[in-house]
Chains A and B, each alone.
Chain A
């Protein structure tokens, strides 16, 4: 008997929750704010769905009601991706160690 592909996806999902659990516990508390902004950015990988939706129109009409929602979702996700990664970068650049000469 064949296994439903859904079961495989469910396995990936469950195992990823465990990976996430252990990875996030090892994040140092001082970086919890960058953690939130970066998780924000990566969860916007939902843009892949938005792109498929946006490209669902045919040659004659790029815009139909479904693709319009797709395009809107692309813009929203893009705000998050660029905003999320860049603000994380900006924050992380500020974390500096004590300068040696000050000791």
Chain B
């Protein structure tokens, strides 16, 4: 058994190690070391908790069993999950953090003596407030992440689900959560605690259903942030520094990522949260429905164009992940490089279904990370490149965002693909992208559409090179 002061210092150490874990991610070289710091911080926190309870009886054995069971499941998932499924995995993990927070809060509510928080029916006011906030945010994180997971997994339709009176209903529920917390704290009634949890689960569900598939990068980041705030709430209840520090770190991390994603789409956070994007824009798209000519080609044409180029920029998007085309793409690039063609990759902030999704997929296919560039780094290079190869991206290349103030995506930062001498656009059909608008790029003089599955087309081009 170690003293409360000593364990508090160790919790502080593990909090600092968590900060270093995030700090490590500032560059790929230091990132692995950062992850090690994170693991070390976790080991310290868990060990200190065991030592400070000083309870190594039967209960301890059960704790170990549950850690081993959970740990094996986690390790199994971590090794088996394909990289294309990272968004689902992260959403699923968020839901577990949320649910764990709810369970800890329930446990503390039922047995406050174990946590030195008072007695059932007479819990310290401050602790009760912290506990109920932690539980409510945890519950919202849980049900919201479940919906996000189902949408990403394709079990639930990615299109926004909206109904009349949705926003007023959500507002009423949010207000009722605050009222419930107030009543709970003044009456200490356990019934109110359960109602609070139920209502929080409900609002988490209602908040995410109106948000469409391509807004998932924002949703995942937002839920990441929530899971942090839930952890911090529980940290205040347990008076645990490691949890408070971590909760704050994760909370601000998720908030920053949401901000970056919103900026990448030129939309305000509230606009995304209120949802229903895509469903409302049909009017603007129908006006320009007249048939326009497109040039389409086959793998042979594409191979010819690329063989005669001296520099090629690849623009990957979510479609590449769906078609699992990253490895085929890398093989194509290898062949190009053998012919002394300069190849680089351009990644839009919201390409894919979560922040940095494309970078991971390219890394998986052994693309060196110093060939992969962000929007600001590479956008000026398009004018000097010979060929842009757009694979699975759409709205993020639409020049309309720069030219047409009427367009719903006007002002969104886009890749200047059209400035390339020629554009190869791999796509299955001419259907508009997620935003529901036509991509002007399809009809440009220098664009050659390649109608095929991304993976198959890339393989065919490689054969023809």
Best-buried of B45, B60, B253, B372 by chain A (most CB within 10 Å): B253
Query: In the complex, A5 Cα to B369 Cα: how many Å?
Result: 47
**Looking at chain B's contact residues, is the secondary structure mostly helix, strand, loop, or mixed?**
helix
Which residues of chain B have C-beta atoms less than 8 A from A33's C-beta?
86, 90, 354-357, 359-360
* Chain A contacts to B: CB under 8 angstroms: 5-6, 9, 12-14, 16-17, 19-21, 23-57, 59, 62, 64-67, 69-99, 102
B77 at the interface (CB under 8 A from A): yes
Chain B residue, CB-CB nearest to A26: B26
Query: In the complex, A21 Cα to B72 Cα: how many Å?
Result: 33
Q: CB distance B62 to A27 under 8 Å?
A: no
Which residues of chain A have C-beta atoms less than 8 A from B243's C-beta?
45-46, 48-49
Shortest distance between the CB of A16 and any CB in chain B (Å): 4
B39 at the interface (CB under 8 A from A): yes
Contact code string B236-261 (vs A, CB < 8 Å = 1, else 0)? 11111111111111111110110010
Q: CB distance B22 to A40 under 8 Å?
A: no
Chain A residue, CB-CB nearest to B110: A66
> Which 4 A-B pairs rank lowest in CB-CB distance, beginning with the nearest?
A78-B70, A32-B356, A83-B74, A56-B114
Which residues of chain B have C-beta atoms less than 8 A from A72's C-beta?
66, 103
Partner of A57, one of B59, B68, B347: B59
B457 at the interface (CB under 8 A from A): no
Among listed B27-35, B311-319, B408-416, B438-446, interface-contacting one = B27-35
Q: Which B159-208 residues have a C-beta within 8 angstroms of A? A: none
Query: In the complex, A94 Cα to B260 Cα: how many Å?
Result: 24
* Chain B contacts to A: CB under 8 angstroms: 11, 14-15, 18-19, 21-23, 25-28, 31-32, 34-35, 38-39, 41-42, 45-46, 48-50, 53, 55, 57-60, 62-63, 66-75, 77-79, 81, 83, 86, 89-90, 93-94, 96-97, 99-101, 103-104, 106-108, 110-111, 113-115, 126, 220-221, 224, 227-228, 231-232, 234-254, 256-257, 260, 337, 347, 349, 354-357, 359-360, 363-364, 366, 368-372, 374
Query: In the complex, A28 Cα to B373 Cα: how many Å?
Result: 11
Best-buried of A39, A66, A97 by chain B (most CB within 10 Å): A39
Query: In the complex, A64 Cα to B62 Cα: how many Å?
Result: 13
Partner of B77, one of A48, A55, A79: A79
Q: CB distance B359 to A9 under 8 Å?
A: no
Which residues of chain B have C-beta atoms less than 8 A from A48's C-beta?
11, 45-46, 48-49, 238, 240, 242-243
Partner of A86, one of B60, B78, B247, B356: B78
Q: A47-B46, A74-B70, A78-B71 are in contact. List 13 more A-B contacts (CB 8 A).
A: A5-B239, A21-B252, A36-B90, A39-B224, A39-B253, A43-B246, A46-B231, A55-B53, A56-B111, A69-B110, A76-B103, A92-B35, A93-B32
Chain A residue, CB-CB nearest to B109: A66
- Identify 30 residue pairs between A and B in the complex whose beta-carbon atoms are under 8 Å apart, listed by A's number: A9-B236, A16-B244, A16-B247, A21-B252, A27-B25, A30-B372, A31-B31, A31-B359, A35-B253, A35-B355, A35-B356, A39-B224, A40-B94, A41-B42, A45-B243, A47-B46, A48-B46, A48-B238, A49-B108, A49-B115, A49-B237, A53-B111, A62-B58, A66-B111, A67-B59, A79-B70, A81-B42, A88-B35, A94-B363, A95-B28
Q: CB distance A28 to B26 under 8 Å?
A: yes
Q: CB distance B363 to A96 under 8 Å?
A: yes
Q: CB distance A50 to B25 under 8 Å?
A: no
Shortest distance between the CB of A25 and any CB in chain B (Å): 6
Partner of B66, one of A25, A75, A87: A75
Query: In the complex, A77 Cα to B359 Cα: how many Å?
Result: 27
